[in-house]
A and B are shown apart, each in its own frame.
Chain A
């Protein structure tokens, strides 16, 4: 019996039991669909997040009080850490391995008004002119803050597009005034739109000189601000210096300034793009595990469905099996017949699942503007897994069919 004969045989069975075959394959379809869709979406998100992370300023190193990340936070330990200050930034600025050092401070502000119009919850950043080297701010109109603004603690600000859209929808805002929590500032420039980062708008921002910030908004307002407060120092390594070398120098300097013994842990944190990347990968790892669990369960259920229906098929076709054996089918011929049927059921289900999964990915791409992409290996994986499920759950019914005694099978009613 050739493979082609077997294949025709199995396909004929599906033709006679269309609905039954479809329902049986449904578990596999859903399982594979889930895998493909989620892998495609996560790939799309990876792509997007990577793009966003790289807008941060690709090799900027941030020295802060607190490490970026998730999980358990020991507030008491953090509260005990010294605040970073301008002196730290100055000391870091003298390191030979760094090209630019820019201290900045930020807080959330709530009352930004202009002629009765108001926006709330805006990120207020106090920065030095060097911040353009550490964070990729680009000015669209007007100018950025300069050394003169810093020295004179001028009440000037550069605003993000969100502010312009909400307070100055019709006019060029440069030269106009706005009020930040009761303080009047003059707008000197507008930033280019940056989009959002991890779901947060980056255009909802006002930048003022750091010295001005410290003059007008000196007091931390909450325990949270006290803990997470202090300045953030962004630094960019000199060309030819790797990020790792720069970090080593910075860590050594900071530990010396804080008088830490060799056995004491850092009481500051050094964050880079890689920290964010790790953070993000931790999140997606969880999503991956959940996906594998969901897909695993539905493949398992699908496999049990296949086993069930194959046992029914073997029982229904006992006489056929007896007859085939009487006509010269070997046990192996019968085994292959039923095994191929189970595998085909699973693989066809897998193929449908792959198509549906790709469809969902395309849909998400259109709706959420994600660049969803199912890599080729997921398609192979989908096929491989469904075939595996077919073999695993098909082998028992098939071997039962193969072992039937031809006489008993022929007599079976």
Chain B
């Protein structure tokens, strides 16, 4: 449905309870992200951006409110369906890369396809294609401890794309990298965006934010500021791919 946004939340709220203490991490977030949009989520720590990210990534369910991803109301999904959504619809990139240390780069990239039930032959082809895309075709058999930080994050990027998800969620993707490698990673993300992927990055770094077409600022669990460039208003795809 081209007219519909990929992501739509309505009064999304999350409350954590630890004993008697209640923490309102998110209190009523309305957010829409169109297909192909390149968005940065910013905000001080405790602003709720990680919580929002977990909800958007189907890792968690909200206390109240609704979240539609690709026109499915996530709040109605059970555990198995949520896992399936994480598997097919979302590609995660983490600050600390989160590669499995015992597996080669290729096997790490293959992992989401294993859970998707992709046939081994197809997995191998797709993994090679993805590693080529991030410039690591020659490092496919290396284990994470034989790779540099930038290389590890590139493997993670390739893994995020494995099942051709409709949404890429990156949590401080350059947080553990030096300036030069950060630039490399951002260039790759920019490429992904240009190819029509929807990307949401959580970051503190204004330089990273400068790459995105739209910056959403959170504070105290609410959207404080949604800096939406006029061209990216309703149908984002026309804006990003003129």
Which A residues lie at the B interface, using CB under 8 A? 1-2, 5, 12, 16, 319-320, 323-333, 406-407, 410
User: Could you list 11 further interchain pairs (A-B, Cβ under 8 angstroms) beyond the known A2-B117, A328-B87?
Assistant: A12-B102, A323-B100, A324-B111, A326-B98, A327-B111, A328-B84, A328-B86, A328-B88, A328-B115, A330-B79, A331-B79
A-B contact pairs, 14 of them (CB 8 A): A1-B114, A2-B117, A5-B114, A320-B100, A325-B59, A326-B86, A326-B98, A327-B115, A328-B163, A329-B115, A330-B115, A331-B79, A407-B59, A407-B60
Q: Smallest distance from the beta carbon of B163 to chain A beta carbons, Å?
A: 8
Q: What residues of chain B lie closer than 8 Å to A330, measured between beta carbons?
A: 79-80, 83-84, 115
Alpha-carbon separation in the docked complex, A328 to B60 (Å):
13
In the assembled complex, B62 has its CB within 8 A of some CB on chain A:
no
By Cβ-Cβ distance, the 10 closest A-B pairs, closest first, are A328-B87, A328-B115, A330-B83, A327-B112, A323-B98, A406-B59, A328-B86, A330-B80, A326-B92, A5-B114
Q: What residues of chain A lie closer than 8 Å to B79, measured between beta carbons?
A: 330-331
Q: What residues of chain A lie closer than 8 Å to B112, measured between beta carbons?
A: 327-328
A326 lies within 8 A of B111 (CB): no
In the assembled complex, B222 has its CB within 8 A of some CB on chain A:
no
Q: What residues of chain B lie closer than 8 Å to A333, measured between beta carbons?
A: 83, 115
Partner of B86, one of A1, A2, A319, A325: A325
Alpha-carbon separation in the docked complex, A407 to B115 (Å):
19
Q: What residues of chain A lie closer than 8 Å to B102, measured between beta carbons?
A: 12, 16
Q: What residues of chain A lie closer than 8 Å to B87, measured between beta carbons?
A: 327-328
Alpha-carbon separation in the docked complex, A74 to B86 (Å):
80
* Interface size of B in residues (CB-CB distance below 8 Å): 24
A325 lies within 8 A of B98 (CB): no
In the assembled complex, B159 has its CB within 8 A of some CB on chain A:
yes
Q: Smallest distance from the beta carbon of B54 to chain A beta carbons, Å?
A: 5
Q: What residues of chain B lie closer than 8 Å to A12, measured between beta carbons?
A: 102
Given contacts A406-B59, A407-B54, A407-B60, whether A328 and B116 have CB atoms under 8 Å apart is yes
B115 lies within 8 A of A1 (CB): yes
Q: What residues of chain A lie closer than 8 Å to B83, measured between beta carbons?
A: 325, 328-331, 333
Q: Which residue of A has the minimal Cβ distance to B88? A: A328
Q: Which residue of A has the minimal Cβ distance to B89? A: A328
In the assembled complex, B57 has its CB within 8 A of some CB on chain A:
yes
Q: What residues of chain B lie closer than 8 Å to A406, measured between beta carbons?
A: 59-60
Q: What residues of chain A lie closer than 8 Å to B57, measured between beta carbons?
A: 326
Q: Smallest distance from the beta carbon of A81 to chain B beta carbons, Å?
A: 79
Q: What residues of chain B lie closer than 8 Å to A331, measured between beta carbons?
A: 79-80, 83
Q: What residues of chain B lie closer than 8 Å to A323, measured between beta carbons?
A: 98, 100
Q: What residues of chain A lie closer than 8 Å to B159, measured between beta carbons?
A: 327
Alpha-carbon separation in the docked complex, A320 to B98 (Å):
8
Q: What residues of chain A lie closer than 8 Å to B59, measured between beta carbons?
A: 325-326, 406-407, 410
A327 lies within 8 A of B60 (CB): no
Alpha-carbon separation in the docked complex, A171 to B109 (Å):
89
Interface string of B63-96 (1 = CB under 8 A from A): 0000000000000000110011011100010100
Q: What residues of chain A lie closer than 8 Å to B86, measured between beta carbons?
A: 325-328
Q: What residues of chain B lie closer than 8 Å to A16, measured between beta carbons?
A: 102
Q: What residues of chain B lie closer than 8 Å to A320, measured between beta carbons?
A: 100
Q: Which residue of B has the minimal Cβ distance to A323? A: B98
A410 lies within 8 A of B114 (CB): no
